[in-house]
Amino acid sequence: MCFKMRYSYIIENVMENENTHTIFFDADFNALPGQFIMVWVPGYGEIPLSLSCTGKPKAITIKAYNEPGMKLINYKKGDKLFYRGPYGNHFSLVDGKKLIIAAGSGIASMHPLIDDNSIIIESLKRASDIIFEKELKGRAIFTTDDGTLGIKGHVIDALKNVNLNDFDMIYVCGPELMMKSVFDFLKDKNVRAEFSLEREMKCAVGICDSCSVSGIQLCTEGPVFTN
């Protein structure tokens, strides 16, 4: 186990929408869907970001809110991306049918799970917030707050119409409130589900206590938990 700070060169910076970018970089560490890295933007800070591609090349998909994020989405091909990791546990990989439930940038960590065997329920504020449009095409059920795409409403409104028994695994990532509502909805159904939690993370190695929930460190024992 050695997580020293490293860097990789950026191969491509793809704008997904107004403030969301996917940054591909040339790294050869091994990682699994659900794991994250700590990205250091020298002079601006360090933030946890899920790997949105876990193969080769790797990628992160970031919705820029804060200073490091804003800086990051302006990185260019050939720039150095500094990071440490990968950290955390990962989603269970299953052979059968998968249901992916995402809201906002939560889709980033589940991007590596999308394949011909998966259906995605994604909830957005509005149609223009969509990312990974190409990958989602023909596989996704959308809900939007303003009804500009798919169902007007929340994930649960879409989830109600799905036959949960069709799926071998349900993956969920998004704002905590949304995950709570999905968790509650699934509670009395007999399904396998995994939730990826996001909390402030400072150390990512399980010693600073900033990401703890009920005595569990999300950075080392999570971020993925089962229902």
Partner 1 sequence: MDVSCNVSSIKLKNPLILASGILDENGYTMKKIIESGASAVVTKSIGIEERKGFETPVIYEEYPYFINAIGLSNPGIDAFASEMNILKGYNVIGSIFGTGPEDFSYLAMKMQEYGAIAVELNLSCPHVKGFGLEIGSDPDLVESIVSEVKSKVRIPVFAKLSPNTHDIIEEAKAARKADALVLINTLKAMKIDINARMPVLSNIYGGLSGKSIKPVGVRYVYEVSKEMNIPVIGVGGIESYEDVIEYIMAGASAVEIGTAIYRHGKGIFKEINNGILNFMKENKIESLSEIRGCALR
Ligand X SMILES: Cc1cc2nc3c(=O)[nH]c(=O)nc-3n(C[C@H](O)[C@H](O)[C@H](O)COP(=O)(O)O)c2cc1C
Ligand Y SMILES: Cc1cc2nc3c(=O)[nH]c(=O)nc-3n(C[C@H](O)[C@H](O)[C@H](O)COP(=O)(O)OP(=O)(O)OC[C@H]3O[C@@H](n4cnc5c(N)ncnc54)[C@H](O)[C@@H]3O)c2cc1C
Contacts to ligand Y by CB under 6 A: 36, 47-50, 60-63, 65-66, 69, 104-105, 108-109, 198-201, 223
Alpha-carbon span 34 to 54, nearest angstrom: 9
Q: Which of 29, 75, 82, 183 binds partner 1 (CB under 8 A)?
A: 82
Q: Which is nearer to partner 1, 105 or 217 (CB)?
A: 217
- Residue 210 interacts with ligand FES (CB under 6 A): yes or no: yes
Strand extents, DSSP E, the chain: 6-17, 20-25, 36-41, 45-53, 58-63, 80-87, 98-103, 118-124, 140-144, 151-152, 169-173, 193-196, 212-213, 216-217, 224-226
Instruction: Choose among partner 1, ligand Y, ligand FES, none what residue 105 binds, the Cβ cut-off being 5 to 8 Å by kind.
Output: ligand Y
| Pairing mode, strands 140-144 and 151-152 | parallel
Q: Which is nearer to ligand FES, 113 or 224 (CB)?
A: 224
Q: Which is nearer to ligand X, 26 or 209 (CB)?
A: 209
- Residue 76 interacts with partner 1 (CB under 8 A): yes or no: no
| Pairing mode, strands 6-17 and 20-25 | antiparallel
CB of 203 to ligand X, least distance (A): 7
SS3 of residue 211 by DSSP: coil
C-alpha angle 90-189-102 in degrees, rounded to nearest 5: 45
Residues of the shown chain interacting with ligand X in the complex, contacts defined by CB under 6 A? 207-208
Q: Which is nearer to ligand Y, 50 or 144 (CB)?
A: 50
- Residue 209 interacts with ligand FES (CB under 6 A): yes or no: yes
Q: Which is nearer to partner 1, 40 or 171 (CB)?
A: 40
Q: Which residues 6+ apart lie within 8 Å of 120 measured at CB?
A: 99, 100, 101, 102, 107, 110, 114, 136, 139, 140, 141
Instruction: Choose among ligand Y, ligand X, ligand FES, none what residue 149 binds, the Cβ cut-off being 5 to 8 Å by kind.
Output: none
Q: Which of 31, 33, 36, 46 binds partner 1 (CB under 8 A)?
A: 46
Written as six digits, the tokens of 67 are 């200073």
